[in-house]
Amino acid sequence: PSDSDFQGKKLYNYQGCWYQYKTLRAVLHFKRNFKPLDTDIIVASYPKSGTTWLKALTVALLERSKDGPLSHPLTSDNPYGLVQSAIGLVPFFELNLYLKSSTPDLTKLSSSPRLFSTHMPLHTLRDPLKDSPCKIVYVCRNVKDVLVSRWYFYSRIENKEAGRSILESMFESYCRGVNYYGPFWDNVLSYRRGSLEDPKHVLFMTYEDLKARPREQIMRLAEFLGCPITQEEIHSGAVKEILELCSLHNLSNLDVNKTGKAWDNLDHNVYFRKGEVDDWKNHFTSEMEEKIDMIINEKFQGSGLKI
Ligand code: A3P
């Protein structure tokens, strides 16, 4: 493998970020052709950081005042917006919309406001947004859990056993920063800076906070999205309802998952596994922990972020 390969796939660097060729082409189409609306909401993340969960929470919060739970869109459509599948509730710019067409018809989107997602770093995403007041929500996760999640995901999509050698070679790629959308730290730091500079338009969340303090975090998200949770809703159990609707158990058992495929022959359930914090402890050696912690500590220095 060359320096720009990740698991046998050639990657291309654009604005400091590594992409597969077809993804990069879609990024360029997006940059050239996307016209934002002031009300757009974009869910951003580094892959395997909890994107699906954040998409579901965003949909649930925005839709909660429109319908009762039975007709909630999450019960009839999925939040994923996967490659080559039905468009989903929160489609990816570069893995879905602009992958299929250089000028996709965005009038067909079902959500209002329009919801999108992306894994691009903020500086690339921001280009076509210019001065748009649209909102961007980012979820960050411990890189060690991201890597373990990616390892299992890769094994599932490639139909291979999740062997140590795959984990070890992925680990080296992550440490070098050469992997899909890598380097991890540049992606995280672009949104971290954006959220500090422009907190009205960029919200920085973490998977770990969502797990540890879900009520507090979804209230924060609702406030940012401009649909704050009222005292009445707190007392009526609405927050609990949203959390349950978006739980890993509920999302992975949606009826819509039982029909259709994520892509190729894969079930939608490829997006759900354990959903835990610190699963890396079951897989990393102390050498791996030490090496990646050293890199992240150095990269995150001065950002206020901890591992
Ligand atoms: P694990 O592989 O560690 O279980 P993404 O959506 O960015 O691809 O991230 C996938 C990770 O988020 C997987 O992590 C998956 O299990 C977890 N996940 C998906 N839905 C979730 C939910 N509703 N709550 C918590 N974690 C969730």
| Structure confidence by residue, pLDDT tens digits, 234-293 | 888 889 989 998 999 988 887 766 766 666 667 777 888 999 999 999 999 999 999 999
Going by CA atoms, what residue is nearest to atom 26 of ligand 1? 275
DSSP the chain: --TTEETTEE-EEETTEEE-HHHHHHHHHHHHH----TT-EEEEE-TTSSHHHHHHHHHHHHHTTTS-GGG-GGGTS-S---TTS---SS-BIIIIIHHH-SS--GGG---SS-EEEE-S-HHHHHHHHTT---EEEEEE--HHHHHHHHHHHHHHHTT----HHHHHHHHHHHHHT-STT--HHHHHHHHHHHHHH-TTTEEEEEHHHHHH-HHHHHHHHHHHHT-PPPHHHHHHTHHHHHHHHTSHHHHHT-HHHHSS-SSTT--GGGG-S---S-GGGGT--HHHHHHHHHHHHHHHTTTT---
Whether the Cβ atoms of residue 34 and residue 128 lie closer than 8 Å to each other? yes
ipTM of the complex: 0.99
Q: What is the CA(2)–ligand 1 centre distance, in A? A: 31
With respect to residue 29, please indicate whether it lies within any of the assigned structural domains. yes
Check if 271 has its Cβ closer than 6 Å to any atom of ligand 1. yes
DSSP β-ladder status, 135-140 and 202-206: parallel
Hey, what are 29's tokens?
A: 């189409």
Check if 224 has its Cβ closer than 6 Å to any atom of ligand 1. no
Segment 157-170, tens digit of pLDDT: 888 888 999 999 99
Determine whether 119 is an active site residue.
Answer: yes
Residue 194 is part of a domain; what is its CATH number? 3.40.50.300
Per residue of the chain (307 residues), give pLDDT as tens.
456 888 888 999 999 999 999 999 999 999 999 999 999 999 999 999 999 999 989 988 988 766 555 456 666 666 665 433 455 788 899 998 999 899 999 987 767 799 999 999 999 999 999 889 999 999 999 999 999 999 999 988 888 888 999 999 999 999 999 999 999 999 999 999 999 999 999 999 999 999 999 999 999 999 999 999 999 988 888 899 899 989 999 888 877 667 666 666 677 778 889 999 999 999 999 999 999 999 999 999 999 998 7
With respect to residue 298, please indicate whether it lies within any of the assigned structural domains. no
Query: What is the tally of structural domains in the chain?
Result: 1
Check if 53 has its Cβ closer than 6 Å to any atom of ligand 1. yes
Check if 49 has its Cβ closer than 6 Å to any atom of ligand 1. yes
Q: What is the CA(100)–ligand 1 centre distance, in A? A: 25
Atom of ligand 1 nearest to the CA of 49: 7
Whole-model pTM?
0.94
Q: What is the pLDDT of residue 221?
A: 97
Q: What is the pLDDT of residue 42?
A: 97
Check if 80 has its Cβ closer than 6 Å to any atom of ligand 1. no
With respect to residue 282, please indicate whether it lies within any of the assigned structural domains. no
With respect to residue 297, please indicate whether it lies within any of the assigned structural domains. no
Handedness of CA 247, 250, 256, 261 (dihedral sign): positive
From 29, 72, 119, 268, active-site residue? 119
Check if 257 has its Cβ closer than 6 Å to any atom of ligand 1. no
Q: What is the CA(103)–ligand 1 centre distance, in A? A: 30
Atom of ligand 1 nearest to the CA of 248: 23
Residue type, 98: Y
With respect to residue 176, please indicate whether it lies within any of the assigned structural domains. no
With respect to residue 133, please indicate whether it lies within any of the assigned structural domains. yes
Q: What is the pLDDT of residue 66?
A: 63
Instruction: Quickly tell me which residue has 């400091």 as its tokens.
Output: 16
Hey, what are 69's tokens?
A: 């739970």
Q: What is the pLDDT of residue 224?
A: 98
Hey, what are 173's tokens?
A: 């790629």
Check if 275 has its Cβ closer than 6 Å to any atom of ligand 1. yes
With respect to residue 288, please indicate whether it lies within any of the assigned structural domains. no
Can you tell me the distance from the alpha carbon of 89 to that of 273, in angstroms, rounded to the nearest whole number? 21
Atom of ligand 1 nearest to the CA of 250: 23
With respect to residue 147, please indicate whether it lies within any of the assigned structural domains. no
Q: What is the pLDDT of residue 85?
A: 41
Containing structural domain, residue 234:
18-142+183-273
Closest by CA to 154, choosing from 14, 280, 47, is: 47
